[in-house]
Structure 1
Amino acid sequence: MHVTLRQLKVFETVAQHLNYTQAAKALHLSQPAVSMQVKQLEESVGMPLFEHAGKKIQLTEVGREVHQYARTIFQTFEEMEDVVSALKGLDTGHLDIAVASTVNYFAPRLLAAFSRSFPSIDLRLDVTNRERLMSLLQNNETDLVLMGRPPDDIDLEFKPFMDNPLVVIAPPGHPLQNQRNIPAKRLSDEVFIMREAGSGTRLAMERYFDEQQIEIRPGMQMTRNEAIKQAVRAGMGLGVVSTHTIELELETGRLVVLDIEGFPLQRHWYLVYRKNKRLSPAARAFFDFVMAEAQHIKDEPV
């Protein structure tokens, strides 16, 4: 089987986008040129790599296998570049970081500080939800992930780098606003704006209510913290969020934190990567930087 790196790169890009036009734009090639490279690769493999489902394309079983090997090959090339650069004494390299959407409230400050210390390292950031973070970890598609509690069903290395307290928020003027040490059972009378199923915040919230033997009265379900905060401000219910997401709202009096028994729920942010993964020099530099500087940078005035 005769396969070129160019064919693999074109195929890997099409597989990533599942769209020939978008892949052509990403590669700065014409669509016919992309189609030709994929066709030549399919001829070498001897089987189709894509199949059409209406107007869309998707990977065949063989395509999925080839895609996995292609990703591994290009990840290995990046690791080689980083190692060679390190041996030359250069603070260079590529670094793919994925973060939970809640982490992104302080991640830009963290990445900016890191870039000032290591200006030659090329940083790429993916802000996404917990489900996609687990997919990235499962498929080893990113260098490091910053997230809440790591999943138990993937072999991972992880280390906590910052506290992540969760609190109950309410609109100003809520009847419970000025009460102290409110019994947990009082929450059974309240409606809660919920994060999507599977999110770290929702898992922690559901665990708390189960321990207190309280049934949650769910209101609307939101996929972003900003939407939850707006819904709470509008009086649609209470919410459970990270304190890192409400600094501005507390300063301006747009939201209040209720003094609920058992809250804040003490959680942590973790640095996570696949077990047995060899961190590149750039990834190791970022790991060490976050462990040493994250809390200090987060607490700095904006």
Structure 2
Amino acid sequence: MPASLRQLRVFLSVARHESYTRAAEELHLTQPAVFSQVKQLEERLGHPLFERIGKRMFLTEAGKVTVDGAREALDAVERMHMRLADMKGLRQGKLRIAIVSTAQYFLPRLLGSFCDANPGIEVALMVTNRQTVLERLSQNEDDLCILGTVPGGLDVVATVIADNPLVILARHDHPLVGERNIPPERVAREPFILREPGSGTRLAAERFFKARGLSLPMRMELGSNEAIKQAVIGGLGLAALSRDTLALEGQLGVLKTLDVAGFPLLRQWQVAYPRGKHLSVVAEAFMDHLVANGQAAVEAGSGPLPGPAVGE
């Protein structure tokens, strides 16, 4: 007897959490029910799918193969339902998106307009750091991922959807505010509040200054844009962040963009998915929406870019 879709869904939840208990919580089932579904699947496939070493669960080699097959099967069924709904003129289904935290400043506007036009769509949105998005992208855990420049080592399809300029921020009363064409050497003497290692904005800023033989004196390392902005407002130093983070503060005048030679660094937002992935009807439609409206949504939040942009 072939495996059931229910068994595959339960198995994938256990594999993702490495726990029967946490899978049961996610699926709103009892732990014995989850364990029973996995055991039935193992019996039907003729292979053990998990092994326990100490207190941890691990996928067996057969389990790893089954993860790939289960994802493909469930994705295929979901695409079928979406296409059938599309034939009726009703775009329905689930859209799974993972984004880096900075994208939260503009993506909700794009999701809002898309969902207004397609009310039958359910959205699962993961907002996290760049490293986690890259891991999810490599593991094909989402329909689409939105981030800055994708590393060359990943075999993915990446499409530009908007500009993502990187700026140097200071508190409104900082001595450098109002100066023109500030040399990078002068800025590099100021203390900086930086994102965590691996952050796209941090990598871009450090690359810019390193190319000029400079390093940024780090006073503090923080894992969120909002925390960094509060640190800058508190007078702890400067920061290099996406212009998109100024959606509110820039209008209030609490934070100011410094006119540093070579800035803004013109980076780009990209939407990506693994090469060879079969996009659902909903994912294809949302990709089209991103490409057509991404730049306008970004500019609606942060305003037009002041002055000419200089590339990295």
What TM-score results when the alignment is normalised by the length of structure 1? 0.92
How do 1:196-235 residues align onto structure 2 when only pairs under 5 Å count? 196-235=196-235
Structure 1 position 47 matched with structure 2 position 48: yes
Preserved contact between residue 167 and residue 243 of structure 2 (Cα < 8 Å): yes
1:198 to 1:70, Cα distance in 2 relative to 1, 3 A: same
Shift of 1:88: 3.4
Alignment partners' CA distance in 2, 1:48 and 1:91: 36
CA distance in 1, matches of 2:236, 2:228: 9
Determine whether 1:239 maps to 2:239.
Answer: yes
Q: Does 1:131 align with 2:156?
A: no
Residue 240 of structure 1: how far off its partner (Å): 0.3
- Mapping of 1:1-302 within 5 angstroms? 3-44=3-44, 45-54=46-55, 56-300=56-300
Displacement after TM superposition at 1:98 (Å) = 1.5
The question of whether the paired residues in 1 share the 8 Å contact of 2:47 and 2:62 is answered with: no
Tell me the CA shift for residue 278 of structure 1: 2.6
Alpha carbons 2:105, 2:247 under 8 Å: kept: no
User: Which amino acid in the other structure matches residue 48 of structure 2?
Assistant: M
Give RMSD over aligned pairs: 2.0
SS at match of 1:94: strand
**1:213-266 Cα distance to aligned partner (Å, 9 max, x none):** 212212221111111111112222211001110231122222121111101111
Name the aligned partner's letter for residue 274 of structure 2.
R
CA offset at residue 146 of structure 1? 1.5
Q: 1:264 to 1:301 in 2, by over 3 A?
A: closer
State the secondary structure of the residue aligned to 1:190. coil
Secondary structure of the residue aligned to 1:72 is helix
Kindly state the Cα deviation for residue 93 of structure 1 after the two structures are TM-superposed. 2.4
What secondary structure is seen at the aligned counterpart in 2 of 1:6?
Answer: helix
- Equivalent position amino acid for 2:174 in 1: H
Contact 2:167 2:265 in 1 (8 A): yes
1:72-115 Cα shifts (integer Å, max 9, x gaps)? 22122212222222233322222112111100011111101111
Aligned partners of 2:106 and 2:244 also within 8 Å:
yes
**258-267 or 76-85, larger mean C-alpha shift:** 76-85
- Give me the whole-angstrom Cα distance separating, in 1, the residues matched to 2:12 and 2:301: 43
**Partner Cα separation in structure 2 for residue 276 and residue 66 of structure 1:** 19
The one-letter code matched in structure 1 to 2:270 is: Y
Moved over 4 A (4+): none
78-87 vs 224-233, greater mean Cα deviation = 78-87
Kept in 2, the 8 Å contact 1:42–1:49? The answer is no
1:160 and 1:290 map into 2 onto residues whose CA distance is 9
Q: Secondary structure at the residue paired with 1:141? A: coil
Which deviates the most, 57-66 or 198-207? Answer: 57-66
Give 1:175 deviation, angstroms.
Answer: 1.7
Q: Distance in 1 between matches of 2:57 and 2:246?
A: 42
Cα drift, residue 48 of structure 1: 4.9
Q: Deviations over 1:248-296 (max 9, x none)?
A: 1122222121111101111111121222323222111111111112223
> C-alpha displacement at 1:4, in angstroms?
3.4
CA distance in 2, matches of 1:247, 1:37: 48
- CA-CA distance at 1:52 after TM superposition: 4.6
Size of the alignment, in residue pairs? 301
Judged with a 3 Å threshold, the aligned counterparts in structure 2 of structure 1 residues 91 and 227 are, in CA distance, closer, same or farther, namely: same
Distance 1:281 1:243 in 2: 32
Counterpart secondary structure, 2:124: strand
Q: Which amino acid aligns with 1:51?
A: R
The residue matched to 2:293 in structure 1 has which SS? helix
Distance 1:53 1:251, change over 3 A: farther
| In 1: Cα distance, 2:275 partner to 2:12 partner | 24
